[in-house]
Structure 1
Amino acid sequence: MRKVFQAELHQIGEGLVEISSLVGEAISKATAAFASADLQQAQEVIAADARIDFLQNDLDERAIDVLALQGPVASDLRMIVGSLRMSASLERMGDLARHIAQLTRLRFPNTVIPTSLTGTFAELARLDILIAGKVTELLDTRDLALVADITGAKAEISKLHKSVFTTMAAPQWQETPATTVDVTLASRYFERFGDHGVSVARKVSYLVTGEWQPEDFLAG
């Protein structure tokens, strides 16, 4: 029975890595479509989100079955409960990638972002893609050195997110109300994607160490 239980735990871990890999693909394609107003690629991201949702539901059902049938305790219980919470964060990251693609589709054939903010959003995209890759690697290897990379990238995203609103509040901002709303939403999507990546990283850290660290500790 113990071997079966360990195999089930391993499958749950592999499931998280698979979902995270798909999230990484989604944010890479979504941000590329966003930058170039690529409608076909945006549609692909929107359609592919159903796969992430399905895998998350399947993983959660398996984790709940293990909880009900195996009665895990201590670190095993922590692993299963943590997996349920991490899968929810990963699913939300997939949703945010979809939202970015939906903005792209909404404004096609135009790009969402005005020229004055193109560089800022290119950097936000780069950092979100970096976080997605590091999260997948962290889930696969449990190498806690990656946590600092993820939280460091998120700190940079927060600065950029703030700078977007500084730009929009300046007298020089002459964009339409629709563009202002689009930029506000887009910046929030990029920023929240990073937040959920940090959330997953904190939970992996907890699984490995057994200690729940505050965000400012991890960021340091």
Structure 2
Amino acid sequence: MREVFQQELREVQERLVEISRLVVIAITNATTAFNESNVALAEKVIAEDPKIDALASDLDELAISIMALQQPVARDLRIVVSALRMSASLERMGDIAEHIAQLARYRYPEKVAQDRLLGVFEEMGSLDVIVAEKLSRLIETEDLSLADEIRDVDDRIDELHVSVFETVLSETWAGTSVNTVDVTLASRYHERFADHAVSIAKKVKYLATGEWTGAGVR
């Protein structure tokens, strides 16, 4: 029974890694679709999001089954509880990638961001991809230096998010009400995506050390 239990715990981590890799693909495609007004790529992200949802749901069922049947304690319990919480955040990251892709699809053939903000969103998108890649490696390896790197990248994304708001609130902003809503939403999606990654990184730290380092996503 103990061998079966350990195999189930390994499966929990393997499933988390699988979902995280799909999230990397989703945000990579979504930000490319957003910045290049690529409707085919946007549709691909939207069509594939249910796979992330289904895998997260399956993982939750496995984790709940382990708790009910195996009654884990100590680090084993931390693995299962953390997996449930990380699964929810990864699923949400997939949803956010889908929202970014939906914006690209809604405004096609136009680009969502005006020329003035295009460079900002290109950087935000690139950083979100970096965050997702680092997070996937962190889940797989528990290399806690990656958690610190994710936090640093998130700080830069926060700065860019603030700059978008400063731009649309400035007297020189000439965008329509639709433009304003679109870029505000898009900026929030990019920022929240990274926030969820930071939240998961904290949970991985907790899993590795048993010490909680702070609150999750704001």
**Is TM (by shorter chain) over 0.5?**
yes
Structure 1 equivalent of residue 79 of structure 2? 79
Tell me how far 1:52 sits from its aligned partner.
Answer: 0.1
Tell me how far 1:115 sits from its aligned partner.
Answer: 0.3
2:138 is the alignment partner of 1:138:
yes
Q: Take 1:139 and 1:147, find their aligned partners in 2: how far apart are those partners?
A: 10
Q: Take 1:209 and 1:77, find their aligned partners in 2: how far apart are those partners?
A: 13
The residue correspondences of 1:56-75 to structure 2 (distance < 5 A) are 56-75=56-75
TM-score, normalised relative to structure 2: 0.98
Tell me how far 1:183 sits from its aligned partner.
Answer: 0.4
Structure 2 equivalent of residue 192 of structure 1? 192
Structure 2 equivalent of residue 93 of structure 1? 93
Q: Take 1:80 and 1:140, find their aligned partners in 2: how far apart are those partners?
A: 15
2:58 is the alignment partner of 1:51:
no
Alignment root-mean-square deviation, CA: 0.6
TM-score, normalised relative to structure 1: 0.97
Structure 1 equivalent of residue 207 of structure 2? 207
Tell me how far 1:82 sits from its aligned partner.
Answer: 0.4
Look up the SS of the partner of 1:111 in the other structure.
coil
In the alignment of these two chains, the number of paired residues is 215
The residue correspondences of 1:145-164 to structure 2 (distance < 5 A) are 145-164=145-164
Q: Take 1:136 and 1:165, find their aligned partners in 2: how far apart are those partners?
A: 30
Structure 2 equivalent of residue 10 of structure 1? 10
Tell me how far 1:214 sits from its aligned partner.
Answer: 2.6
Deviations 1:52-87 (A, max 9, x none): 000000000001000000010111111100000000
Structure 2 equivalent of residue 218 of structure 1? none
Q: Which runs of 5+ in 2 are unaligned?
A: none
Tell me how far 1:186 sits from its aligned partner.
Answer: 0.1
Deviations 1:191-211 (A, max 9, x none): 000000001100000000100
Amino acid paired to 1:78: R
Q: Take 1:86 and 1:64, find their aligned partners in 2: how far apart are those partners?
A: 14
Structure 1 equivalent of residue 129 of structure 2? 129
Look up the SS of the partner of 1:124 in the other structure.
helix
Q: Take 1:214 and 1:9, find their aligned partners in 2: how far apart are those partners?
A: 25
Q: Which runs of 5+ in 1 are unaligned?
A: 216-220
2:116 is the alignment partner of 1:116:
yes
Sequence identity (%):
54
Q: Take 2:214 and 2:162, find their aligned partners in 1: how far apart are those partners?
A: 22
Tell me how far 1:4 sits from its aligned partner.
Answer: 0.4
Tell me how far 1:46 sits from its aligned partner.
Answer: 0.1
Tell me how far 1:94 sits from its aligned partner.
Answer: 0.2
